[in-house]
């Protein structure tokens, strides 16, 4: 079976149906080929088929849109999307700035993870929820946060909903989830409520469930496992990353 042909067909279908179809059609012609050559040098074991590229590029468009919507520094929760961003920065940085200006209203500066302010990942989640039209009364994990697991990105970011909370763990070298998920300390329901992303009904419903589960000492979880920070601060995920993001972008700087 010609798997390359199948992946090209899947990529072409995604290009037609994506909400970012216009932006994806405007990607520079040489970017995919450059990404295919260069990405494996930075991300060992990354798939380089056509469908992976389109989905990763679509995730990057989701992120740029989130930065536009948020107006604040945002963290990128996907290594797959970041692989396209890094390749584009090397391939044609001036063209990338023009692309962002044309499609998202302003250039999106690339900010290293260490330069992102507290809450950058929460800003991304809130903006993505808003762009998805998610109801404040329901928990919702946007596609950008599920992208690495969906694409089986080696050592990518493994987000999922677990017990009503957003949990996180690094993916393994084959891109699979391993181990027991730990609630992400910066993306608790309490943090989402304070950010206005969810309403009090959802928060209190979760608190009641947690209270029943732990015998009366519970409440909204604020972190567990290998996480030790709160509200987007520095933390170790045990897999070489920090706080479940690759890097970030913003509107002229890395602070809140």
Total tally of structural domains belonging to the chain: 1
List the domain range (segments joined by +) for residue 41: 3-249
Label residue 83 exposed, middle or buried (CB < 10 Å: 0-12, 13-18, 19+). buried
Round to whole Å and give the CA distance between 192 and 211: 19
Q: Does 255 reside within a domain?
A: no
| Angular region, 156: left φ>0, alpha ψ -120 to 50, beta rest | beta
Q: Does 199 reside within a domain?
A: yes
Report the b/e string of 105-132 with b at 16+ CB within 10 A: eebbbbbebebbbbbbbbbbbbbbbbbe
Q: Does 188 reside within a domain?
A: yes
Spans in the chain with pLDDT lower than 70? 1-2, 213-243, 251-256
Cβ-contact 143, 62 below 8 angstroms: yes
Round to whole Å and give the CA distance between 85 and 64: 10
Give residue 214's pLDDT.
62
Residue of 57, 2, 7 whose CA lies nearest to 31: 57
The total number of residues shown for the chain amounts to: 256
DSSP string, 12-61: HHHHHHSTTHHHHHTS-TTHHHHHHHHHHHHSTT---SHHHHHHHHHHHH
Give residue 41's pLDDT.
97
Q: Does 254 reside within a domain?
A: no
């Amino acid at each position: 079976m010609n798997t390359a042909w199948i992946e090209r067909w899947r990529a072409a279908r995604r290009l037609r149906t994506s909400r970012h179809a216009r932006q994806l059609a405007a990607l520079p012609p040489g970017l995919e080929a450059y990404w295919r050559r260069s990405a494996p040098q930075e991300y060992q074991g990354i798939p380089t088929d056509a469908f992976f590229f389109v989905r990763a590029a679509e995730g990057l468009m989701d992120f740029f849109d989130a930065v536009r919507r948020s107006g604040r520094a945002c963290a990128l929760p996907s290594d797959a999307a970041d692989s396209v961003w890094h390749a584009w920065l090397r391939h044609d940085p001036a063209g990338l700035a023009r692309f962002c200006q044309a499609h998202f209203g302003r250039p999106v500066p690339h900010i290293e993870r260490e330069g992102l302010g507290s809450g950058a990942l929460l800003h991304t989640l809130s903006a993505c929820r808003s762009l998805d039209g998610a109801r404040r009364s329901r928990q919702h994990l946007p596609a950008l946060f599920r992208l690495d697991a969906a694409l089986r990105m080696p050592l990518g970011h493994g987000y999922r909903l677990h017990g009503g909370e957003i949990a996180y763990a690094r993916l393994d070298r084959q891109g699979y989830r391993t181990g027991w998920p730990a609630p992400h300390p910066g993306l608790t329901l309490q943090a989402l409520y304070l950010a206005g992303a969810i309403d009090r009904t959802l928060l209190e419903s979760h608190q009641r469930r947690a209270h029943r589960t732990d015998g009366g000492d519970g409440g909204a979880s604020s972190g567990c496992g290998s996480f030790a920070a709160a509200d987007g601060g520095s933390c170790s995920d045990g897999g070489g990353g920090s706080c479940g993001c690759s890097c970030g972008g913003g509107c002229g700087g890395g602070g809140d």
